[in-house]
């Protein structure tokens, strides 16, 4: 497959051009969208290649990988935790996590807030919404999010900057468009109701990031199209 013959720099350039095209199509500025390169299961050498090509943001889904990989890179590199955070790993994870994408329960939010306070840090986070009401996915239901957010936004050591979703998988991105649009509409309603800004929308992966951008994504999480399939 051609993907494997391409370098990480070439893959990043291809994704960059896909992002630029999607931004143009939806009359958004390129600066409104950030690429999070999902490096889970991939070695530091591959991350180094991406950094050399100018990539700044990386996503990991396991705390163990986040805490072993991130210290090898300069402070300017940004680390996103995109997997479910187990409560017994919060304390280990927070010092290495620039943005937590997966605040998926009130209990987790309360514990992250408490531990961030103990560590003397503020944790930036996104509230995960199970927008396609997929049984297998973590996150708040669409109708639970307003109430949850009201409780979470008052926690002093958490800074909620937006929403994240992982819609049910569909190989045709056009079928997922509705879920991306629904997350954006939910965000707009929540902003209106609360008067608080929720600027970030984390949605879209390798096969559907362009559609996600057309529907308002500000953070796209792309792994296999950059680093190759995972074993």
Ligand X SMILES: *Cc1c(COP(=O)(O)O)cnc(C)c1O
Nearest to 51 by CA among 76, 18, 15: 76
Kindly identify the residues of this chain, within the stretch 68-87, that bind ligand X according to CB under 6 A.
Answer: 82-83
| Among positions 33, 50, 160, 205, the unique one binding ligand X when judged by CB under 6 A | 205
Phi, psi of 144 (to 5 degrees): -95, -15
Measured from the CB of residue 229, what is the shortest distance to ligand X in angstroms? 8
CA 208/CA 180 separation, integer angstroms: 10
Candidate segments 49-57, 66-74, 92-100, 218-226, binder of ligand X by CB under 6 A? 218-226
Kindly identify the residues of this chain, within the stretch 129-188, that bind ligand X according to CB under 6 A.
Answer: 166
| Among positions 14, 40, 89, 114, the unique one binding ligand X when judged by CB under 6 A | 40
Structure tokens at 106: 């009130």
Measured from the CB of residue 42, what is the shortest distance to ligand X in angstroms? 10
Whether 82 contacts 41, CB under 8 Å:
no
| Among positions 12, 38, 116, 212, the unique one binding ligand X when judged by CB under 6 A | 38
Q: How far is CA 206 from CA 30, 169, 222, 224, 228, in A?
A: 18, 12, 5, 6, 10
Measured from the CB of residue 113, what is the shortest distance to ligand X in angstroms? 22
Packing angle between helix 44-52 and helix 8-25, nearest 10 degrees?
60
Complex with ligand X: residue 117 or 228, whichever CB lies closer: 228
Question: Using the rule CB under 6 A, is 224 a contact of ligand X?
Answer: yes
Size of the site for ligand X (CB under 6 A): 13
Instruction: Write each residue from 85 to 124 as x if it is in contact with ligand X (CB under 6 A), else as -, in one continuous string.
Output: ----------------------------------------
Which parts of the chain fold into alpha helices (H)?
A: 2-5, 8-25, 44-52, 63-69, 90-93, 106-119, 145-153, 173-194, 209-214, 224-227
CA 90/CA 220 separation, integer angstroms: 24
Q: Footprint of ligand X on this chain (CB under 6 A)?
A: 38, 40, 61, 82-83, 166, 205-206, 221-225
């Amino acid at each position: 497959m051609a993907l494997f013959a391409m370098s990480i720099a070439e893959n990043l350039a291809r994704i960059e051009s896909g992002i630029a095209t999607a931004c143009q199509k939806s009359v958004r500025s390129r600066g409104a969208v950030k690429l999070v390169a999902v490096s889970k299961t991939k070695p530091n050498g591959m991350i180094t290649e991406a950094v050399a090509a100018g990539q700044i943001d990386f996503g990991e889904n396991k705390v163990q990988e986040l805490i072993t990989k991130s210290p090898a890179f300069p402070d300017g590199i940004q680390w996103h935790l995109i997997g479910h955070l187990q409560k017994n790993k919060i304390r280990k994870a927070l010092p290495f996590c620039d943005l937590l994408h997966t605040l998926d329960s009130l209990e987790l939010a309360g514990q992250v807030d408490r531990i961030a306070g103990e560590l003397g840090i503020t944790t930036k986070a996104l509230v995960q919404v199970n927008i396609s009401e997929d049984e297998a996915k973590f996150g708040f239901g669409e109708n639970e999010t307003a109430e949850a957010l009201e409780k979470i936004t008052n926690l002093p050591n958490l800074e909620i900057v937006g929403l994240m979703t992982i819609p049910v998988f569909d190989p045709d991105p056009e079928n997922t468009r509705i879920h991306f649009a629904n997350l954006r509409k939910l965000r707009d309603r929540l902003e209106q109701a609360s008067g608080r800004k929720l600027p970030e929308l984390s949605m879209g992966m390798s096969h559907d990031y362009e559609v996600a951008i057309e529907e308002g994504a500000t953070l796209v999480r792309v792994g296999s199209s950059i680093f190759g399939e995972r074993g």
